Amino acid sequence: MKSLKDIKEKLESTLSYEPWMKELEEDSRSGAIKLLNTWKNKQKKIAKELLEHQEKCLFDASYCQNSTDLIAGVDEAGRGPLAGPVVTAAVILNQNTEQLLGLNDSKQLSKKKRNELATLIKNNAVSYYIHFQSVEKIDELNIYEATKQSMTEAVLNLHESPSVVLVDAMVLPIQIKTHSIIKGDANSLAIAAASILAKTARDDYMDQLHEEYPQYLFNKHAGYGTKEHVEMIYKYGPTIHHRKTFEPIKSLLKK
């Protein structure tokens, strides 16, 4: 009878159900059954991720006319916060995306997983560009127009010109064929990749801003209007990084 340590090591190196596991099913030790069930759950998760990945790839491919067409995914991070820029990203992925298994809407992933994926995306990308739209532009144009302008800049600065552009719920004023996709980061691999790049870039920016203004805890809430953040704004007043056209900052500045 194998030890639990041996069973664990063998399961970790096994990718599909094998005949020897039948004996393990009948093992009287609860630890052995637990190890097997953990392995089964892991395989179910991997199978689910693989299916979702394939569906996203097929979704993107459905917008291509030729196998050589380049698809750019575009998304943003930071439209809702009271402080900091809105960040947009455009990315064209390589056709071989096996490394990006598990890539999903950035909001569904942990910060650690997002950072890991951001590195993989950059290494995989045919081309990518990240654009920061300033608070000044947001206040000047309004958040919708500022985001649209930023997304346009991200696409136009790609080193390779895409054949088609898939954008998360936005229509861009560009000459390239563009599709506005509702819940794009949940359906499209390219948009999900852009979501990750935009989110990680913005989080890094807000972490740096925290070093300059530690009392606002930008590294904790990333500029969003949490109760704690709003309390800090009332206590210390808005900084140059707060959006003057967003409430409650707009009303505070009128006083």
Q: 1 falls in which pLDDT band (50, 70, 90)?
A: low
Mean pLDDT of 155-166: 98
Mean pLDDT of 170-199: 96
CATH class as words, domain 71-207: alpha beta
Distance in angstroms (rounded) separating the CA atoms of residues 165 and 149:
15
| Residue 228, C-beta contacts closer than 8 angstroms, at least 6 positions apart | 217, 220, 221
Q: Where are the domains of the chain?
A: 4-61, 71-207, 209-254
Higher pLDDT, 62 or 1: 62
Q: 23 falls in which pLDDT band (50, 70, 90)?
A: confident
Q: Give per-residue pLDDT as tens, 63-106.
A: 999 989 999 999 999 999 999 999 999 999 999 999 999 898 78
Mean pLDDT of 154-170: 97
Identify the DSSP state of 106.
G
Mean pLDDT of 3-11: 90
